[in-house]
Structures are given as structure tokens and as C-alpha cells.
Amino acid sequence: MSGIGIGIVGAAGRMGQMLARESRAASMRIVGATEAPGSAALGKDVGELAGLGAIGVLIGDDPLPLFASADVVLDFTAPAATRRHAEIAAQAKCPMVIGTTGLEEEDLDVIARAAQHTPIMRAANTSMGVTLLMSVIRQMAASLDEDFDIEIVEMHHRLKVDAPSGTALALGEAAAAGRKVKLARVADRGRDGLTGQRKRGAIGFAALRGGNVPGDHTVIFAADDERIEVTHRAGNRAIFARGALKAAHWIQGRKPGLYSMNDVLGIAG
């Protein structure tokens, strides 16, 4: 992996700092780093901020030079920022790895248009374990009929601002794809008060928040007299950074297009 120059947008955030730390183990060079205008991190050395010691790369607020100089840019920011970054990536023909969650349809449309001009890998969760879990859930949902109710439970740290998590929704999409239905038609994202009986075929979501949990996800298939539970627990955000850096290596030399972690790991479907 040596020789790949990465740019990190949102470099002062939790994931930005983790990407910086893990880049050393992946033998990648940080060639640029940015933060939002007004951030207290502006002008600081990204290596020092991440606990690596000074590396001579100062955090700026202009992403244009970063996209012009990097071999690939990694983005774990916020939807509005990611939209702008995707448009810049398209102009600069710079490959991009996106791990931003909370993206709406309009955000995805912008990313898809940008991917017509440069390769972009987007995933709600860049963990290799979660990528495999999604594949398994799709197969299970295809094999188990609607006698098995599907419920997805996720827990994250108290600072997370979107719910259900992007990973939980992606797991819901995988289950819906296995049953050949649209998640929007069968999703049940909130129960409170007298909700009536559970609808057959629904895919339910429950979101828990507390502490500093990086991310726990459980998919439950519940039928009369039997229940299957499949769980992934993230012990450290480093797993997301490692997957993203693996994707950054994989995307080098790819044709323009929108890719997923399935592509990175060679998982069919």
C-alpha cells in the first residue's frame, strides 16, 4: 500500500483522527487535511492532532488543493459537506471513499452524478465484518419467509445525531432485497403508544443511544417458537478506518463509477 497519498476531509473529527492514525499502519501518506471554516483545528498539524507527532501537513479549510494533490480523498463528514466534496472530486477526477451517514436521496443523487466522472466507493459502514454481515442477512431474508419477523436493533454513543444508523438502514435494505421488496414500503421505524399489531412482512428498527458505544447492530429473525439473532459489535472505530483505507487502496486505477464495500471485498451481489 506504500506510496498512496491520501487526503482527509473532516480531519479533526473522531473518524478523521482515526484515519490519520491508521494510515501509518497502512503505509499511506497524508498529503492534505481539511476542516470546516472556523474550526479550532485550522492551522494545526494533522499528525500532532491525531497523536502521531508532527508530519508537516497543516489542516486547512479549502478542499480544492486537497483534491488536486491527493491520490484518493476519504470523507466521513456530514451530508452537506459530502455533497460539496463529491462535486469537487468529479471536477478534479479524484477517487473518493465516502463513509458519511445520514445521507438523503438528494445527497445520493449528487454522489451518483459525481461517480460518472471519478470512481467513488460509498458505504454506510466500512467495517469488513459488517460488509459480510449484510451479505449474510440478504441470504437469510431470501431463505426465511414472512413467518419470520425481522427486527433490527442498533446502539451508538450519545453524540450520534442520526437514527436509525446508516448501518441499520443498510441492513434493512439487505433484508428487503432478500425478500424482493422495497424497504420504504415495509420499514417500521418507530413504535409508541397503541400501535396495533405488528404488520406481517414489516422490517422493524429500534435505536438506542448511550455511553461511548462505537456501534452495535443485531438483526433478529423471529418466528413462532424460534428466533435467530445475528450481531456485530464494533469495539473501536479503528475497524471503520481500516476498511476505508483498504477501499482507498482498492479504488486506485478503477474506472469512474459508484462502488461499494462488496466490490472492495469481492462479495457477489
CATH code of residue 112: 3.40.50.720
Q: Convert the pLDDT of each residue in 76-102 to its tens digit.
A: 999 999 999 999 999 999 999 999 988
How many structural domains are present in the chain?
A: 2
Whether residue 114 is found in the same domain as residue 152: no
Kindly list the distances between the CA atom of residue 78 and the CA atoms of 18, 43, 82, 98, in Å, as whole numbers in the listed order. 16, 21, 6, 10
CATH number at residue 139: 3.30.360.10
Whether residue 89 is found in the same domain as residue 21: yes
160 a catalytic residue: yes
Whether residue 14 is found in the same domain as residue 117: yes
Whether residue 226 is found in the same domain as residue 243: no
- Residue 246 CB: number of other CB atoms within 10 A? 19
- Confirm if 263 and 134 have CB atoms less than 8 A apart: no
Whether residue 37 is found in the same domain as residue 99: yes
> Which three-class secondary structure state does DSSP give residue 128?
helix
- The string of DSSP letters for 59-74 reads -BS-HHHHHHH-SEEE
Q: Which three cell numbers stand for residue 154?
A: 442498533
Determine which one of 117, 157, 160, 249 is catalytic.
160
Of residues 240, 125, 202, 106, the one with CA closest to residue 171: 125
pLDDT of residue 269: 64
249: left (phi over 0), alpha (psi -120 to 50) or beta: alpha
Distance CA 197, CA 149 (A): 12
pLDDT of residue 1: 41
Whether residue 88 is found in the same domain as residue 133: no
Residue range(s) defining the domain that contains residue 137: 128-234
Kindly list the distances between the CA atom of residue 7 and the CA atoms of 43, 60, 86, in Å, as whole numbers in the listed order. 16, 11, 13
Residue type, 184: A
- Confirm if 53 and 24 have CB atoms less than 8 A apart: no
Whether residue 11 is found in the same domain as residue 114: yes
- 253 φ, ψ (degrees, to nearest 5): 80, 0
217 a catalytic residue: no
Q: Which three cell numbers stand for residue 28?
A: 499511506
Whether residue 170 is found in the same domain as residue 220: yes
Kindly give, in sequence order, each residue whose CB lies less than 8 Å from that of residue 112, ignoring residues fewer than 6 positions away. 258
Determine which one of 44, 85, 156, 232 is catalytic.
156
Of residues 66, 65, 85, 64, the one with CA closest to residue 75: 85
pLDDT in tens, the chain (269 residues): 458 999 999 999 999 999 999 998 888 999 999 999 999 999 999 999 999 999 999 999 999 999 999 999 999 999 999 999 999 999 999 999 999 988 999 999 999 999 999 999 999 899 999 999 999 999 999 999 999 999 999 999 999 988 999 899 999 999 999 999 999 999 999 888 988 999 999 999 999 999 999 999 999 999 999 999 999 999 998 999 999 999 999 999 999 999 999 999 999 76
pLDDT of residue 175: 98
Distance CA 124, CA 199 (A): 27
Whether residue 137 is found in the same domain as residue 115: no
Whether residue 208 is found in the same domain as residue 181: yes
Whether residue 115 is found in the same domain as residue 243: yes
Whether residue 261 is found in the same domain as residue 228: no
- The string of DSSP letters for 145-183 reads -TTSEEEEEEEE-TT--SSS-HHHHHHHHHHHHHTTS-H
- Confirm if 109 and 87 have CB atoms less than 8 A apart: no
